[in-house]
Amino acid sequence: MARSLWRDGFFGVTAGLLAWAAVGSVAALGFGAPARAATVVAKITSQNGATEGAVVTVTRAGQAPAPVKAGTRAVMIQQDRQFTPFVLPVQLGTTVEFPNRDPFRHQVYSFSAAKAFELKLYGGNEVNSITFDKEGVVALGCNIHDNMLAYIYVVGTPFFALSAKDGGARVEQLPAGAYTVTVWHPSQKTGQSISKDVTLAAGDTANVDLQIEMKRERRQRKPGAVDEKEY
């Protein structure tokens, strides 16, 4: 009886050690460990040099547009008779708030196919908002101040970035796979589409150079001064 108990105990401990060793071997081989995310580092240039304010998107071929988590918000400020930022990239389904921080009223509108809307004259503590539910470019204006202009660029992917002053844009947390990297800028020539295909392995960093051709700059009109009444 004692020998039987000793034998059962010995084989039980041995089996446990073997199982532990097997798990350790699997971990050492990398099985079961989370895959490392990949990164795209884009450099955007034009005939004018490094290009700021370009939207870089990274998408999988044939992938359906992915709406953002409900309740996601972004902000387009009205201050000093201008919109800030000039280019605001957002994911499909994002609600954008339009606070007016000027001491007079604004009337924001867009005639763009991706989202046509109008926010009637408002100011003070009022903050209007619009949900953007279609991909594309939304050009913004103000019915009171003709010089005011900005763009909301609605994308159907969570992987996007806005280029900095040095033309650089970094898109992170990409699963391994084949992607298309595309750039858009409000001043690029009409109809121009610039993109490059990349294949990313786990942990990869892909450097992508994208060059766009810019339209000639138009002279900015003087700020309007209509209906600028303090509250």
Q: Per-domain residue ranges for the chain?
A: 1-33, 38-211
For the stretch 173-214, pLDDT in tens is 999 999 999 999 999 998 888 999 999 999 999 999 999 999
Q: Which residues contact 178 (CB under 8 A, 6 or more apart)?
A: 60, 61, 197, 198, 199, 200
Residue 76, amino acid: M
pLDDT of residue 7: 44
Residue 149 is encoded by which pair of tokens? 């202009």
pLDDT of residue 227: 55
pLDDT of residue 41: 98
Q: pLDDT > 70: what percent of the chain?
A: 79
Q: Which 3 state secondary structure label does DSSP give 13?
A: helix
pLDDT of residue 2: 42
Q: Where on the phi/psi map is residue 26: left (φ > 0), alpha (ψ -120 to 50), or beta?
A: alpha
The pLDDT-based confidence of 226 (bands split at 50, 70, 90) is low
pLDDT of residue 217: 65
Whether residue 4 has pLDDT greater than 50? no
The pLDDT-based confidence of 9 (bands split at 50, 70, 90) is very low
For the stretch 152-184, pLDDT in tens is 999 999 999 999 999 999 999 999 999 999 999
Whether residue 220 has pLDDT greater than 70? no
Whether residue 120 has pLDDT greater than 90? yes
Helix (H) or strand (E) holding 83: strand 82-84
Going by C-alpha positions, the residue among 159, 180, 161 that lies closest to residue 170 is 161
Q: Does domain 38-211 sit in CATH 2.60.40.420?
A: yes
Q: CA dist 44 to 98, 119, 197, Å?
A: 29, 34, 15
